[in-house]
Structure 1
Amino acid sequence: MSTETQYSPIRDVVLFAALGVLILFVFLSQGPVYSLRMMVEAGCYAIIALGLTIQWGYAGLFNVGIMGFIAAGAATSMIMSFPRNEDFWASAGPSMVGLFIVKLVLCGLALWAVNRSATWGLGPKLRALLTAVVIAISYLVLSDHMAAMSNEIESASGWMGGLGLPVVVGWIVAGIIAGAIAWFVGKICLGLRADYLAIATLGIAQIIKTFLKNADWLTRGTLTVSPLPWPVQTPSDGEFIFARASYLTVVAIAIVIIYLLLQRAYNAPWGRMMRAIRDNENAASSMGKNVNRRRLEIFVLGCVLMGFGGAVLIHFASIYDPSGFLDLNHTFLVWVMVILGGSGNNRGAIFGAVFVYIIWVMSEPVALWLFSMIGTYGEAWLGWEPPSDLASRALQMRVFVIGLTITLVLRFAPQGVLPERQARH
Structure 2
Amino acid sequence: MEGNLFDRNRRDLILFAGLALLVAVIFLTQGSVYSLRMLVEAGCYAMIALGLTIQWGYAGLFNVGVMGFIAAGAASSVLITFPTNPDFWNSNGPQLVGIFLVKLAFSAALLWLANISGRFGAGRRLRGLLIVIAIAVAYLVLSAHMTVMAEQIEANSGWIGGLGLPVLVGWIVAGVVAGIIAWFVGKICLGLRSDYLAIATLGIAQIIKHFLKNADWLTRGTLTVSPLPWPVETPSGGEFIMARASYLSLVAIAVVIIYLLLERAYNAPWGRMMRAIRDNETAAEAMGKNVTSRRIEIFVLGSVLMGFGGAMLIHFASIYDPSGFLDLNHTFLIWVMVILGGSGNNRGAIFGAIFVYIVWVMSEPITLALFDVIRTYGVAWFDWEPPSDFNSRALQMRVFVIGLTITLVLRFAPRGLLPERQARH
1:184 matched residue in structure 2: 184
Residue aligning to 1:286:
286
The secondary structure found in structure 1 opposite 2:236 is helix
Residue 183 of structure 1 aligns with an amino acid whose one-letter code is: W
| Aligned: 1:410 with 2:416 | no
Q: Distance in 1 between matches of 2:267 and 2:250?
A: 26
Whether the aligned pair in 2 keeps the contact of 1:175 and 1:305 (CA below 8 Å) is yes
Q: Distance in 2 between matches of 1:407 and 1:22?
A: 21
Superposition TM-score, scaled by structure 1 size? 0.98
State the match for 2:78 in structure 1.
Answer: 78
The alpha-carbon deviation at position 378 of structure 1 amounts to 1.3
Cα deviation, residue 63, structure 1: 0.1
Instruction: Return the letter of the residue paired with 2:105.
Output: V
Give the match's secondary structure for 2:8.
coil
Shift of 1:391: 1.9
**Residues 123, 6 of structure 1: alpha-carbon distance in 2 compared, 3 angstrom cutoff:** farther
Q: Deviation at 1:388?
A: 1.8
Deviation of 1:7 (Å):
6.4
Query: Structure 1 residue 236: deviation in Å?
Result: 2.8
Q: 2:128 is matched with which residue?
A: 128
Distance in 1 (alpha carbons) for counterparts of 2:391 and 2:322: 26
Equivalents in 2 of 1:388, 1:125: separation in Å? 65
Q: Which moved more, 1:381-390 or 1:342-351?
A: 381-390
Per the alignment, residue 262 of structure 2 pairs with 262
Structure 2 counterpart of 1:313: 313
Partner of 1:351: 351
Q: Distance in 1 between matches of 2:331 and 2:236?
A: 31
Question: 2:65 maps to what in 1?
Answer: 65
Structure 1: give runs of 5+ residues left out of the alignment: none
Aligned alpha-carbon RMSD (Å): 1.1
Q: How does 1:126-275 map to 2 (within 5 A)?
A: 126-275=126-275
Counterpart for residue 88 of structure 2:
88
Matches of 2:50 and 2:390, distance apart in 1 = 36
Q: Which runs of 5+ in 2 are unaligned?
A: none
Q: Structure 1's 271 and 424: CA in aligned 2 closer, same or farther, altered over 3 A?
A: closer
For the residues of structure 1 that align with 2:269 and 2:424, how far apart are their CA atoms? 17
In the alignment of these two chains, the number of paired residues is 421
Residues in 1 aligned to 2:319 and 2:296: alpha-carbon distance in whole angstroms: 32
Q: What amino acid sits opposite 1:66 in the alignment?
A: V
Distance (whole Å) between structure 2 residues aligned to residue 245 and residue 185 of structure 1: 37
1:327 is aligned to 327
Deviations 1:43-90 (A, max 9, x none): 000000000000000000000000000000000000000000011011
Cα distance in 2 between the residues matched to 1:391 and 1:379: 15
Quick check: 1:368–1:390 contact (8 Å CA) kept in 2?
no
CA deviation after TM superposition for structure 1 residue 128, in Å: 0.8
For 2:414 and 2:272, the matched residues in 1 are separated by: 23
Which whole-Å deviations, capped at 9, do the CAs of 1:270-329 have from their partners, x for residues lacking one? 000000000000010000000000000000000000000000000000000000000000
